[in-house]
Structure 1
Amino acid sequence: MTIGVTIGQAAAFAGVTVKAIRHYHKHGLIDEPRRDSSGYRRYGSADLLRLVQIRTLAAAGVPLAEVRAILDADPDRFAATLADVEQRLDERIDDLMARRDMLRRLATGDRALLPDRVLAKLDQVAADLGFTPEDVTMAREGLVLVRALVPEGFDDYVSRVERSLDDPRYVSLVKRMWRAAEWEPDDPRVDELATAMADYFLARPALLPVPAALRTRTDAATRYGLLADHGQEQKPAWTRLRALFEARMRAAGTDVAQRTPAD
């Protein structure tokens, strides 16, 4: 009487492929069973159980390099390892749920890809400053760029802006800057505004709305340029305003795009 099943049957019963079983053999996750008198390897119930355990751990995200140690561990170590795997699964679930929520926001037309608290703050600021819908869209897109280009500095950037918004002088500068979008580039008010902005931030360098993490990057100037260029193709006055502002900052010894050594 033939005992056990062929590799194809074992694969079907365990819910894996024949190729996967051979891969498990190659990496020592399961021993190869002996061949029967006909030359076929026969897999018994213990082999099937082992295959199911391997498949379950792999499906849970456990690297195959760790599977054998887990399955061969003593009961206490096995339980502790499974608890760690469960925690990793919970973290993956949280991440997937966050991604699902983001997809839903995209599907409903919210293309900002920003945290709710940031969107709420932007709506409040937009109402206070009298932003047009186009202004709000541009501001949202700018925040998305900050989050994409300097993800580790996004919270720092938002915090700097929030602190600045408590200062009426800063709010006044922001209002003037948005009005400047409609000025001609050679309007003398552009030069005046650049000077006022430079004076403000030179006196308050901690409020300069540039993520601190940006300056630790080797490509800081490139990323800063991408952020600073946003919207300027439609607003020539902003291009000149930025150039004048940066020139005044550099003349005073502060280069907003300069890379600084990492802490």
Structure 2
Amino acid sequence: MTDGVTIGQAAAFAGVTVKTVRHYHRHGLIAEPRRDNSGYRRYGSADLLRLVQARTLAAAGVPLAEIGAILDADPDRFATALADVERRLNERIDDLIARRDMLHRLADDRALLPDRVLAKLDEVAADFGFTPDDVAMAREGLVLLRALLPEGFDDYISRVERGLDDPRYRSLIRRMWRAAEWKPDDPRVDELAAAMADHYLAHPSLLPVPAGLHARTDGAIRYNLLAHHREEQKPAWARLNALVEAHLRSAGFDITKQTPTD
């Protein structure tokens, strides 16, 4: 009777492939057993145990370069090494959980905006009667703002929050959102544009221009990306923005080059 099993049988018993067994051999994790009289390598119980242990450590994420030393360690060092493997696994689990949670938050851009901003947006949305599409558009605009001008984001949000305490400004913003559903040639668009431009000129800190925009050589490009986001879906807004910018320019105020001072 021939002692031991073939490499194929050993691989099957351990739940790995023959290629994996040979890979372990090349890395010195398992010694290659001697060949029998027929020229076949025969794996005994000790070889199978070592193979199962190596497979288990590899499946746990232990690099192959570390497995040999772990398996050759004395009982105390072996236990310490396993504890270290468990610690690293727990860290990976925590990281994966954090990534999963971020994916869930990304479904509504909540991973891309501070909680403070989201809370304020929820408050304004409820007060102004935003539709789900309105909320999505507002979030998108804030995400773009933070991406394009991160250094001016917090300052801009603070200025808008202060502005919303002013009933006149709040009324203008409320009308601006309602204007999204108007026709572009609605006379109310002209009236609102004039009112908004006058308010911005009287309170330049409320201009939709984050700090740092004017200092950038590509400030106009960044401003256009922010100011005209999704305008093609809201024709009245496209005309409203154009009219507001025209009013400001006629008053000598280039919206992409001036610094709010109020």
TM norm structure 1: 0.61
Give the direction of change, closer, same or farther, for the CA distance of 1:192–1:171 in structure 2 (3 Å limit): closer
Residue 80 (1) aligns with residue 84 (2): yes
Q: In 2, distance between residues paired with 1:113 and 1:250?
A: 27
TM-superposed deviation, 1:87: 2.5
TM-superposed deviation, 1:140: 2.0
Q: Mean Cα displacement is larger for which, 243-252 or 120-129? A: 243-252
TM-superposed deviation, 1:59: 3.2
Aligned amino acid, residue 174 of structure 2: K
SS at match of 2:256: helix
Residue 54 (1) aligns with residue 50 (2): no
Q: In 1, distance between residues paired with 2:52 and 2:219?
A: 50
Q: CA contact under 8 A between 1:25 and 1:32: conserved in structure 2?
A: yes
Query: CA-to-partner distance for each residue in 1:191-214, whole Å, 9 max, x for gaps?
Result: 5425645765x5369x9679x9x9
TM-superposed deviation, 1:127: 1.9
What is the root-mean-square deviation in Å for CA atoms of aligned residues? 4.8
Name the residue aligned to 2:233.
234
Residue 138 (1) aligns with residue 137 (2): no
Give the direction of change, closer, same or farther, for the CA distance of 1:114–1:11 in structure 2 (3 Å limit): same
Question: 1:167-186 maps to which residues of 2 (within 5 A)?
Answer: 167=163, 168-169=165-166, 171-181=170-180, 182=182, 184=184
Name the residue aligned to 1:187.
190
SS at match of 1:249: coil
The structure whose Rg is larger is: 2
TM-superposed deviation, 1:13: 1.8
Aligned amino acid, residue 164 of structure 1: V
Name the residue aligned to 1:91.
95
Q: CA contact under 8 A between 1:57 and 1:67: conserved in structure 2?
A: yes
Gaps of 5+ in 2: none
Query: CA-to-partner distance for each residue in 1:161-189, whole Å, 9 max, x for gaps?
Result: 47733542353443232133226377253
Name the residue aligned to 1:257.
none
Residue 248 (1) aligns with residue 254 (2): yes
Identity %: 46
TM norm structure 2: 0.61
Q: CA contact under 8 A between 2:193 and 2:240: conserved in structure 1?
A: yes
In the alignment of these two chains, the number of paired residues is: 234
Aligned amino acid, residue 257 of structure 2: A
Give the direction of change, closer, same or farther, for the CA distance of 1:47–1:199 in structure 2 (3 Å limit): farther
Give the direction of change, closer, same or farther, for the CA distance of 1:228–1:252 in structure 2 (3 Å limit): closer
Q: CA contact under 8 A between 2:109 and 2:139: conserved in structure 1?
A: no
Name the residue aligned to 2:35.
36
TM-superposed deviation, 1:233: 1.0
Give the direction of change, closer, same or farther, for the CA distance of 1:220–1:190 in structure 2 (3 Å limit): closer
Q: CA contact under 8 A between 1:60 and 1:89: conserved in structure 2?
A: no
SS at match of 1:187: helix
